[in-house]
Structure 1
Amino acid sequence: MKIPIKMTLTAIGILILLFLVIILFNVSSFNNTIKKEKSLLFDSKSIPVEKISEADLEHLPELMKNYLIKAQIIGKSKYCNVTFSQKGTIKTDPKKGWISFTAVQYMSSKNPGFIWKARALPMLIRDKYIDQKGEVKISLLGLKDVASLGPEVDQSSLGRYFGELIWFPIGFLDPDIIWKQIDTTKVKGTITKGDLSLTGYFYFDETGMIKSFSTQRYRDTTLEDFIAEAGEYQNYDGLLIPNKMTAIWNLKGEKFEYFKADIVSCELTETIP
């Protein structure tokens, strides 16, 4: 029996509609999960309202202290949150091309950590470090989710958080960071969260601002040299921070640039109990 063309087109239309509904439902679920994670990161219960003074910087090496003064953190709340809007490009392999993305990133000084939510169609990406745990989650239009967890991800996420404090310098006052000035252009920092410690180096330019950061992070299951290079410094919502950042893997002496992000906007909010 021959099926009428009209009925065939109707069936195709219903299937397409169902497919779109499934995508919308899964994307909404993906976004709702991130909203819940943001609520945990931005939780402001049981905190005092304190402003940063120069006395809070006295224990720091001179390079770091002078940099934080120039970054204009004096007078800001010790416990605050920041929301960045970003645009940029990313690549997963040196032989592959660049993929454009737009993203929102959340960071907190009360609950040290971050959430990075990006859209690089057909991918939705969420990278996070919350409560001493890291996770990378990639969703293909909400139809298939791939998550990465484990000690290596925890270490790599902590390394990303530490380096990206250049975008959120209030986080450098974290008491879990031990500082040592190496010379006139380099400061060593060791951050410890739970059982995990990570050491990184911050390099300063002739104006006293941080120009780059280096550490070792896991790339999949291999520990590799990692570099973050800062762009030009601009005033965003009262903070002097880089307008862009480039992330680089140093793979056996060859640099692989894999992440470039520009700051589109920045909103700093005090956490009020």
Structure 2
Amino acid sequence: MLNKKLAWPLIATAGGGVALGLLYPLRQRAARRLRRDATWLFAQAADAPGQTYHEAQLAGLPAPVQRYFRHVLREGQPYLRGLRLRHGGQFKTDLKKDWLAIEGQQYVTADPAGFIWQGTTRWFRVRDEYVAGRGSLLVRLLGAVQVVSGSGPHYDEGELLRWLVESPWLPTNLLPSSRVAWTAVDDRSARLTFSQGGQSVACLMGFNEQDEIATSETQRYIDETTRVPWVCSYAQYRRWHGMLIPTDCEASYVVDGQRQPYAHFVVQELDYEPLRPF
């Protein structure tokens, strides 16, 4: 839900150069590519035959983390390989601009860590992904004119962070393992660290009185040189396929001490198996 670079130029004159008759085939081509790439992503997902959650796994974890897993998972819950979801909501292309309505699809794998997200507003189509250990962002005006294309180490880190903080949608992903470590902070928060393929990212998870993950906080690049606090919030948990999942999520950057939200997504559809694109 969390795009990395917000300063997308609004090239109004470019829109006039794109024949409206071309928009439908452009959308169809983008949809075909998304389905193809999501199919490939899911083909990489590792199987977890017979692996299930048991409360004994929680021994030694920080107290709020133990309470969270007892609350959102049921004994014997099979480990999840990935998910697909659709969402609605609002998005800002710049922190100073107005909200735009957005619809999106997202495909996620647990092992290896990976996701592909595509969001569509009235003017923009956005593709954000972390695939094979590499992050990237592509933004097109009217689906045709490329206005942002980003990749490189900052994107690798930022998109892996996005994958990590969206793991409340995939709660078995947060259970302790060789890749996942929890460190105690206090009775309402714990530090979460994820490592894979030589990359490591971390965030502070905050828990509410219902023992749900309510916030995540970390540092993320807002441009090519500057890291700022990046905060995500999670609300409206509902039981989905036997687990409690947040369905209302918001992402914000903190600039000059002010929290500035830019993405507010509401989950409309979520499936875990079979792993296949919409």
- Interval of TM-score (by shorter of Structure 1 and Structure 2): 0.7 to 0.9
Equivalent of 2:212 in 206, 209, 212: 209
Q: How does 1:75-114 map to 2 (within 5 A)?
A: 75-114=76-115
Cα separation, partners in 2 of 1:58 and 1:21, compared to 1, 3 Å: farther
Cα separation, partners in 2 of 1:246 and 1:45, compared to 1, 3 Å: closer
Q: How does 1:187-226 map to 2 (within 5 A)?
A: 187-221=190-224, 222-226=226-230
How far apart are the structure 1 equivalents of 2:204 and 2:48? 31
Write the deviation string for residues 48-86 of structure 1: whole angstroms up to 9, x where unpaired: 412323144445333223312211254333242211111
Instruction: Output the TM-score relative to the length of structure 1.
Output: 0.85
| Structure whose CA Rg is larger | 1
Contact 2:82 2:170 in 1 (8 A): no
Instruction: Output the TM-score relative to the length of structure 2.
Output: 0.83
How far apart are the structure 1 equivalents of 2:103 and 2:48? 35
Give the letter for the 2:137 counterpart. Answer: V
Contact 2:234 2:248 in 1 (8 A): yes
Contact 1:81 1:270 in 2 (8 A): no
Shift of 1:20: 4.8
Residue 36 of structure 1 corresponds to which residue in structure 2? 36
Cα separation, partners in 2 of 1:165 and 1:228, compared to 1, 3 Å: same
How far apart are the structure 2 equivalents of 1:225 and 1:156? 12
- Segments of structure 1 that go 5 or more residues without pairing to the other structure are 1-17
Identity percentage of aligned residues? 24
Q: How does 1:47-126 map to 2 (within 5 A)?
A: 47-54=47-54, 55-58=56-59, 60-72=61-73, 74-126=75-127
SS at match of 1:231: strand
Cα separation, partners in 2 of 1:241 and 1:48, compared to 1, 3 Å: closer
Give the letter for the 2:180 counterpart. Answer: I
2:261 equivalent to 1:260: no
Q: Which has the higher contact order (CA 8 A, sep 6+)?
A: 2
How far apart are the structure 2 equivalents of 1:73 and 1:60? 17
Equivalenced residue count is: 256
- Segments of structure 2 that go 5 or more residues without pairing to the other structure are 1-17
Q: How does 1:170-185 map to 2 (within 5 A)?
A: 170-173=172-175, 175-185=178-188
Residue 5 of structure 1 corresponds to which residue in structure 2? none
Contact 2:213 2:234 in 1 (8 A): yes
Shift of 1:229: 0.9
Superposed CA RMSD in Å reads: 2.4
Contact 1:61 1:179 in 2 (8 A): yes
